[in-house]
Amino acid sequence: MAAFLFSRFLQSAVLLVIVSIIGFLVLYLMPGGPLSQYALDPGMTQEDIARITEQLGLNRPVHVQYLDWIWGLVQGDWGTSFRDGSPVTQVIARHVPATLLLMGSSTVIAVAIGTWIGIRGATHRYSGFDYIATVGAMIALSIPTFWFGLIGIYVFALRLDWLPAGNMYTIGDGSVLNYLHHLILPSIVLALVHIAIWSRFMRTATLDAISQDFVKTARAKGVSERRVVMKHVVGNALLPMITLAGVQVPSLLTGALVTETVFTWPGMGRLFLDSLGYSDYPVVMGLLMFSALLTIVANLIADITVALVDPRIRLA
């Protein structure tokens, strides 16, 4: 187990370094550069831009800039925002809770509904429900998230006036119910694609578990079908789903970026787009590294959980 953990931590560290290098080079090669916002100011002279470039250290070779940035990152100094001079860690910390709330709620919805659809589709194979679930999953996977968001706003906010069209809460009303009221529509929109993915994987895993010999033995002993499914099939089918939960984190972050933009949700996704628009590269790199770290940690936890639950993987 110790060797397994060491191997996973080493792979995670190497992956973080690779992500940081690629992200840094992509931003460095982007047209305009981090001073593009200053260049739009008619009162800014070339001498002013040169002075700011030197103050920010942008006139140094790219490898020197990267090494200086990564060393500060290791020490806990993620840089300073070009936009307002605030530390990057503080800027990100203000938006993390909103994104985690949205991702967490959508994950709970996706896991609960997707698991039920997958199990029922597998136990009622080729039934009307199975066909409807398959077609629904294909539709959810084929249509962009922002389209679902716009349709949801039009139907439930503008036409029916059941739910708010955006924002995280109503100004002047900080109650829990108000937060939940604003959370319903974006979390459902973000969960739709993941319900489709989870249900398809769960259906496949359940069918694979049903075909195992221990299930046939339980049926031969006269165990009721409900008990066979709940005790023997579901438990074994959920093992690969633990890994899927970790793999879905990047998809959740990407979907959150789109969902937060559509619903003006004050999370990391909206911050990322705003920072790109302002060429606030320290915040962009900070968000990139935080997202990569979150993804790696989620996958690491999933791998460790599977290894603890399944002795076959741990012993291998």
Task: Flag whether pLDDT at 175 surpasses 90.
Answer: no
**Residue 32 maps to a domain:** yes
Examine the domain organization and report whether 293 and 159 are in the same domain. yes
Give helix 128-142 / helix 88-123 axis angle, nearest 10°.
150
**Residue 2 maps to a domain:** no
Average pLDDT, the chain: 86
Provide the domain limits for residue 262.
Answer: 92-314
Give helix 249-262 / helix 176-210 axis angle, nearest 10°.
150
Examine the domain organization and report whether 100 and 225 are in the same domain. yes
Minimum mean pLDDT among 60-74, 104-118, 210-224: which range?
A: 210-224
In this predicted structure, what is the pLDDT of residue 49? 77
In the block, tokens 């199975």 appear at 130
Q: How many domains does the chain have?
A: 2
Examine the domain organization and report whether 70 and 114 are in the same domain. no
**Residue 87 maps to a domain:** no
Max Cα-Cα span within the chain: 86
DSSP assignment string, 22-70: HHHHHHHHSTT-TTHHHHT-TT--HHHHHHHHHHTTTTS-HHHHHHHHH
Task: Flag whether pLDDT at 206 surpasses 80.
Answer: yes
Examine the domain organization and report whether 131 and 242 are in the same domain. yes
In this predicted structure, what is the pLDDT of residue 310? 66
183 contact partners, CB below 8 Å, separation of at least 6: 101, 102, 105, 168
250 contact partners, CB below 8 Å, separation of at least 6: 291, 295
Cα dist from 34 to 44, 49, 151, 155, 296, whole Å: 15, 11, 36, 40, 28
Examine the domain organization and report whether 175 and 306 are in the same domain. yes
Res. 154 pLDDT band, cuts 50 70 90: very high
CA of residue 94 relative to chain centroid, distance? 17
CA distance 265 to 42: 33
**Residue 243 maps to a domain:** yes
Res. 134 pLDDT band, cuts 50 70 90: very high
Q: Is 170 left (phi over 0), alpha (psi -120 to 50) or beta?
A: beta
Res. 311 pLDDT band, cuts 50 70 90: low
**Residue 7 maps to a domain:** no
In this predicted structure, what is the pLDDT of residue 106? 92
**Residue 17 maps to a domain:** no
Joined together, the tokens standing for residue 299 give 């996958």
Cα dist from 182 to 127, 173, 179, 269, whole Å: 37, 12, 5, 17
In this predicted structure, what is the pLDDT of residue 95? 92
pLDDT digits (tens, 9 = 90+) for 54-81: 877 778 888 888 999 899 888 888 888 8
**Residue 86 maps to a domain:** no
Examine the domain organization and report whether 106 and 140 are in the same domain. yes
Of 77, 112, 145, which residue is a domain's last?
77
215 vs 260, higher pLDDT = 260
DSSP-based helix, strand, coil % in the chain, nearest 5: 80, 0, 20
Examine the domain organization and report whether 131 and 66 are in the same domain. no
Examine the domain organization and report whether 123 and 176 are in the same domain. yes
Examine the domain organization and report whether 72 and 99 are in the same domain. no
CATH of the domain at 214: 1.10.3720.10
Examine the domain organization and report whether 222 and 279 are in the same domain. yes
Mean pLDDT within 45-56: 78
The residues pairing with 87 across neighbouring beta strands, listed in sequence order, are 80
Examine the domain organization and report whether 275 and 169 are in the same domain. yes
Examine the domain organization and report whether 106 and 254 are in the same domain. yes
**Residue 3 maps to a domain:** no
